[in-house]
Amino acid sequence: MKRVVKHRLFWPIAALVALVAVNTISRPAFLSVTVQDGQFYGSVIDILRNSAPLMLVALGMTIVISTRGIDLSVGALMAVSGAVSLTIIEASPDPENLGVVLVAIGAGVLTTLFLGAWNGFLVAVLGIQPIIATLVLMLAGRGIALLVTGGFITTINSTPYQFMAQGSVFGLPFAFYVSIAAVAIVALVERRTALGVLTEAVGINPEASRLAGVRSRGIVWGAYAASGVLAGFAGILYSSNIMAADANAAGLYIELDAILAVVLGGTSLAGGKFSLAGTVIGVFTIQTLKSTITFLGVPPAVSPVFMAAVVIVVVLVQSRRVREGFARIGKALSRTPSQTRPDAEVAS
């Protein structure tokens, strides 16, 4: 039991389970999934579908945070990739053509790859603080997207493009497969090669890892580029969902949700060790929370109050002082004298 509680994913999973439990009690239909025309429907399926953009962005954010960085520009990059792809599709004579759609998606993602690499250049080569380096594109990115769309909200009709966010394969939303694929690829690259360990090394102590021969510059650069690519795909999913490129609304505040998901998943903002599984759980927690807020009849505009409450509770639970307090209470209750300080390793 003690080992279960000590596991680093215990609290994130507990929070998600608690949320699901609250939902199931307040509306028994929450967990039920109905089949219609060979397609699954239900709140859970909606959560899987709607969480896809956040999942992609949060994965990239996890890697960037692990290198002691932060990427504020992801929301703006989403707007850019959506704007680029939709403008290409709109300009093409045949928007229904799969080839056109693929070229458009490729162009959108390449653009954000370039922008992500630019962020990486500022951070890794010029040594600018990540918050500020990415703030530049966060400010300018939406302006670029507005220029691409000419200041309008570009709308298109294209079945293949629409399929990405709204279509389904084997009864499950296609967007869900996209997020699974992204998780699998990132997990394979980071955890089945040494890259993940090297990334953590750079995050824990950049100087020491440099002296140990880790090429930290390339790793940090790559992290921002990867975050850019993932944000690009997220922007395409988002624009495919509404079939419009809205430079102002696309991915608004998603950087904050993504950072929150990463923190909820137990990855420290101070960099170093990261948990992809934790991020996945964090994303589902946030998406479930949003669905709960909508279900409870709270106007969506007021939902930030709930988000604030969750953020505060989570950061308090993670903070050393509160954990020490809990540990002290636990010790007083069990009255078992132990020499090891349990909080010392939890706090790391």
Partner 1 sequence: MTSTPIRTEQASGAFAARLRVFVNRRASWIPVFAALAILIAMFVGAQLYFGNFLTPRLVSSLLLDNAYLLILAVGMTFVILTGGIDLSVGSVLAFTGIMCARLLSEGVPTGVVIPIMILSGAGIGLLIAVLVQFFDVQPFIASLAGMFLARGLAFVVSLSSIKVEDPAILWLQSTRFQVGGWYITPTGIIALLVVLAAALVLQFTRFGRTIYAIGGNEQSARLMGLPVVRTKILAYVISGTCAGLAGVVFAAYTGSGYPLNGVGTELDTIAAVVIGGTLLTGGSGYVLGSMIGVFVYGTIKGVISFLGAEQSWTRITIGVLLLIFVVVQRFIITRSRRR
Report the interface residues with partner 1, using CB under 8 A: 70, 122, 126-129, 131-133, 135-144, 146-147, 151, 247, 256, 259-260, 263, 269-270, 299, 301-309, 311-312, 315-316, 319-322
Q: If DSSP codes are grouped into helix, strand and coil, which group holds residue 339?
A: coil
CB of 117 to partner 1, least distance (A): 15
CB of 318 to partner 1, least distance (A): 8
- Looking at the Cβ atoms of 197 and 312, the one nearer to partner 1 is 312
CB of 54 to partner 1, least distance (A): 16
Q: CA–CA separation, 144 vs 90, rounded Å?
A: 18
Nearest to residue 218, comparing CAs of 127, 123, 124, 126?
124
Cα atoms in the 13 Å half-sphere on the side-chain side of 254? 33
- Looking at the Cβ atoms of 112 and 158, the one nearer to partner 1 is 112
- Looking at the Cβ atoms of 49 and 142, the one nearer to partner 1 is 142
Question: Token pair of 36, please?
Answer: 């219609």
CB of 167 to partner 1, least distance (A): 32
Q: CA–CA separation, 319 vs 275, rounded Å?
A: 18
Do the Cβ atoms of 68 and 206 come closer than 8 Å?
Answer: yes
Cα atoms in the 13 Å half-sphere on the side-chain side of 70? 19
- Looking at the Cβ atoms of 242 and 256, the one nearer to partner 1 is 256
CB atoms within 10 A of CB 194: 11
CB of 246 to partner 1, least distance (A): 13
Q: Are strands 154-155 and 172-173 parallel, antiparallel or unpaired?
A: unpaired
- Looking at the Cβ atoms of 107 and 315, the one nearer to partner 1 is 315
